[in-house]
Amino acid sequence: MYDIIIAGAGPGGLSAAMYAARAGKNVVVIAESIGGTASCAHNIENFSGHISISGLELTQIMHKQCERLKVNFIISTMVKMELKGNIKLITLIDGRIISAHCVILAMGATCRTLGLKEEVVLMGHGLSYCAMCDGSFYKNCNVIVNGGGNTALDSALFLASLAKTVTLIHRNQSFRAAKILTDRLKDSGVKLVLDSVITNLKGAPLNFVEIKNVVSGVISEIQTDALFVAIGIIPNTGLVKSEILLDENSKILTDAFMRTNIENVYAIGDIRNTPLRQIMTACADGAIASEHASKQFKM
Ligand code: NAP
């Protein structure tokens, strides 16, 4: 029986664990791996205190900080959550049930897929959702990135440093990404294919991407060795959606202390209806939730 279970080990979860451990709580972090989607970011320049650091390095430091504070880690898949009672229960894939007085939901989000049937078979065979993880397999190759947000531009800029050619396909003319990234894109050599969506993936391993121009309707193909999909994220609320109040985008509704509608259940980072999805804000959420949980009730 723990004081606090932190479900998820991205920057938010690791920060929450650090605060809870420093408050003297018996805390366990449960996650399939350490780092979350943040560990895919190749170059983080907007985390205060670091001029430039990779997501992997940053989350490894956070993990070490937790280990120094004797935070417990369980690397496993959570298959069931029972959150309404005074004792919160989380069932793991191996049947173990972990219990605590309080749960902080920090399961983050999963990369959105294109929704094409070929995606499943091509995963790892020319198709990836993480340029930082898989980019080095495509040195001096022709690669495509799809998307127009910070992840897509960060990925395209990273790949431009190692691939032979990088083509960025985006469904409209304007980018959601920060201006500093769109400015960098101009001098990066990345070729832009705008107003276009991917309609088919061909070859196994992947060697052609079929695209449709959404303005003209024209369909064409681009030869490629790899496609990196970066078209947004979907909150991982599957395990809690029957108990926890969500907004219209399936994000968990919280108050300023990160409290959900269930007593002693908090939500932090990309899984909640945050106005800004950043590593900085996920860490701040974690600190606020843990501090509140640690002070509000005796464990
Ligand atoms: P995002 O900001 O939601 O951008 C998703 C992009 O994919 C948008 O350009 C969107 O196009 C496009 N898109 C969405 N669905 C699509 C579909 N079905 N087909 C084709 N294109 C589609 O997602 P993200 O870039 O993954 O970023 C996620 C969050 O993490 C954001 O809040 C972001 O700011 C944050 N983040 C921050 C940093 C950083 O600060 N360094 C780095 C990475 C991520 P439209 O624009 O047309 O909708």
DSSP, collapsed to helix, strand or coil, labels residue 168 as strand
**pLDDT value of position 299:** 55
CB of 153 closer than 6 A to ligand 1?
no
Q: What is the pLDDT of residues 190-199, one digit of tens each?
A: 999 999 999 9
**Do residues 271 and 251 make contact, with C-beta atoms less than 8 angstroms apart?**
yes
Ligand 1, atom 15, lies closest to the CA of 231
Amino acid at 209: V
Ligand 1 centre to CA of 180 (Å) is 15
Compute the distance between CA of residue 261 and CA of residue 252 in angstroms, rounded to an integer.
9
Q: What is the pLDDT of residues 12-67, one digit of tens each?
A: 999 999 999 999 999 999 999 999 989 988 889 999 999 999 999 999 999 999 99
- Is the whole-model pTM more than 0.95? no
DSSP, collapsed to helix, strand or coil, labels residue 283 as helix
Neighbours of 93 (CB within 10 A): 11
Instruction: Give me the mean pLDDT over the 164-178 stretch.
Output: 97
DSSP, collapsed to helix, strand or coil, labels residue 84 as coil
> Which domains are seen in the chain, by residue range?
2-111+233-296 (3.50.50.60), 118-229 (3.50.50.60)
CB of 199 closer than 6 A to ligand 1?
no
